[in-house]
């Protein structure tokens, strides 16, 4: 009898064919549906397929006494309890790198949109206001401006590379300065000082206990009424209530947001504001990138079945076997 791979995601037929060599596959829609499975069935679950957008409760994980491996579809791993996963020595794989380009592309798209007011001017034309009200008001330039990147990791580096094409000056903040960057990448010692220094601030930091609400009221005030915030990281890294107020009061010039605290719920106060561009967490949502993410997430299982380790492990879930 093969062990069970319990999946919270739909698995494509061709991927099932590959996985069937190692696992019996059971697909469920949510954790509640898992509670309908018998204890005997849950005891046979050794593999779990999930995503960063589907949090796993400790109660649920406790119901899987023989769980050995999780493959998470996505680059974020904030929903997974580090202490618990490490204590049980569960292998936790994820899908970084393959989505860097698409996320960086969207960061630039949001920055250009909110600065040049692409979305709001589109609405202006569609409402017939170009005819009735005349030319649309001026936007703001991006080329040659100062860009701050909060989190100079894989995605931050791709954002910076694109910004170079716009002849932007690059500033960044990490916990520590990177030694592998060119001299024209300027390290700033705190998020507040970074915000003071730039015209555009792009948030690309992982969501952790340390980065929760790292963009707070003080950072937004430091950014100021001529500058813009772009968030393609996680909603939790920004104080959402403070951001809404900052946009309403023009404390900052505007924002481009792809992520929110309680997705898919978005603060309704944002809907009436023309100084914010909103997208529904689509930074990696291209056919090419999602196919690459799917392939890597499946490879995590296949690699584990053969070698006892996932193809790409979450940094804190590397046990050095």
Same domain, 116 and 236: yes
Q: In what order do the strands lie in the sheet containing 4-7?
A: 24-27, 4-7, 45-51, 69-73, 91-93
Say which of 158, 234, 240, 303 is annotated catalytic: 234
Same domain, 169 and 257: yes
Q: Is the peptide bond before 291 cis (omega within 30 degrees of 0)?
A: no
Using the predicted structure, report yes or no on whether residue 321 has a pLDDT greater than 60: no
Same domain, 109 and 254: yes
Same domain, 27 and 134: no
The question of whether 263 is a catalytic residue gets the answer: yes
Q: Is residue 316 part of a domain?
A: no
Confidence of residue 28 (pLDDT cuts 50, 70, 90): very high
45-63 pLDDT tens trace: 999 999 988 889 999 999 9
Here the CATH number for the domain that contains residue 58 is 3.40.50.720
Q: Which of 220, 166, 228, 167 is nearest to 191 (CA)?
A: 220
Q: Is residue 118 part of a domain?
A: yes
Q: Is residue 303 part of a domain?
A: yes
Q: What is the mean pLDDT of residues 295-300?
A: 98
Q: Is residue 251 part of a domain?
A: yes
Q: The whole model's pTM is what? A: 0.92
Strands (E) across 63-197 are located at 69-73, 91-93, 146-150, 169-173, 185-187
The question of whether 186 is a catalytic residue gets the answer: no
Same domain, 84 and 177: no
Q: Is residue 315 part of a domain?
A: no
Say which of 33, 210, 263, 288 is annotated catalytic: 263
What residues contact residue 260 under an 8 Å CB cut-off, 6+ apart? 235, 240, 266, 267, 281
Same domain, 105 and 165: yes
Same domain, 199 and 254: yes
Burial code of 139-155, b = ≥16 C-beta within 10 A, e = fewer? ebebeebbbbbbbbbeb
Q: Which of 256, 248, 251, 206 is nearest to 230 (CA)?
A: 256
Provide the number of structural domains found in the chain.
2
Same domain, 116 and 258: yes
Residue 219 phi/psi, 5° resolution? -65, -40
Same domain, 131 and 266: yes
Say which of 18, 154, 281, 290 is annotated catalytic: 281
Q: Is residue 318 part of a domain?
A: no
- For residue 283, give both structure tokens: 């930074």
Q: In what order do the strands lie in the sheet containing 276-278?
A: 185-187, 169-173, 146-150, 200-203, 228-231, 254-257, 276-278
Same domain, 156 and 60: no
Confidence of residue 313 (pLDDT cuts 50, 70, 90): very high
Same domain, 123 and 80: no
111-151 pLDDT tens trace: 999 999 999 999 999 999 999 999 999 999 999 999 999 99
Using the predicted structure, report yes or no on whether residue 79 has a pLDDT greater than 90: no
What per-residue confidence (pLDDT) applies to 200?
A: 98
Can you give the residue range of the structural domain that contains 110? 100-278
Same domain, 170 and 243: yes
**Count of residues for the chain?**
321
What per-residue confidence (pLDDT) applies to 53?
A: 83
The question of whether 281 is a catalytic residue gets the answer: yes
């Amino acid at each position: 009898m093969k062990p069970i791979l319990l999946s919270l995601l739909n698995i494509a037929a061709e991927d099932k064919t590959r996985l069937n060599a190692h696992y019996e596959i059971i697909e469920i829609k949510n954790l509640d549906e898992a509670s309908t499975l018998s204890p005997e069935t849950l005891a046979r679950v050794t593999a779990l397929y999930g995503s960063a957008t589907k949090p796993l409760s400790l109660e649920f994980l406790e119901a899987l006494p023989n769980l050995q491996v999780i493959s998470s579809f996505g680059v974020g791993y904030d929903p997974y309890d580090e202490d618990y996963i490490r204590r049980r020595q569960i292998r936790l794989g994820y899908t970084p790198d393959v989505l860097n380009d698409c996320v960086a592309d969207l960061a630039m798209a949001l920055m250009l949109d909110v600065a040049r007011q692409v979305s709001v001017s589109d609405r202006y034309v569609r409402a017939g206001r170009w005819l009735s009200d005349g030319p649309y008001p001026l936007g703001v330039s991006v080329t040659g401006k100062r860009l701050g990147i909060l989190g100079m990791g894989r995605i931050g580096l791709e954002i910076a590379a694109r910004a170079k094409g716009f002849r932007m000056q690059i500033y960044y903040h990490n916990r520590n300065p990177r030694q592998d960057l060119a001299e024209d990448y300027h390290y700033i010692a705190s998020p507040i000082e970074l915000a003071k220094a730039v015209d555009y601030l792009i948030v690309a930091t992982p969501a952790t206990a340390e980065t929760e609400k790292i963009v707070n009221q003080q950072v937004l005030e430091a950014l100021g009424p001529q500058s813009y915030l772009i968030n393609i990281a996680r909603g939790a890294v920004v104080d959402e209530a403070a951001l809404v107020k900052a946009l309403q009061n023009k404390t900052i010039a505007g924002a481009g947001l792809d992520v929110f605290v309680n997705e898919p719920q978005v603060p309704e106060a944002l809907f009436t504001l023309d100084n914010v561009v909103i997208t529904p967490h689509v930074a990696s949502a291209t056919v090419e990138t999602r196919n690459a993410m799917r392939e890597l997430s499946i490879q995590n299982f296949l690699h584990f079945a053969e070698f006892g380790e996932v193809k790409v492990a979450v940094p804190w879930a590397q046990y050095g076997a």
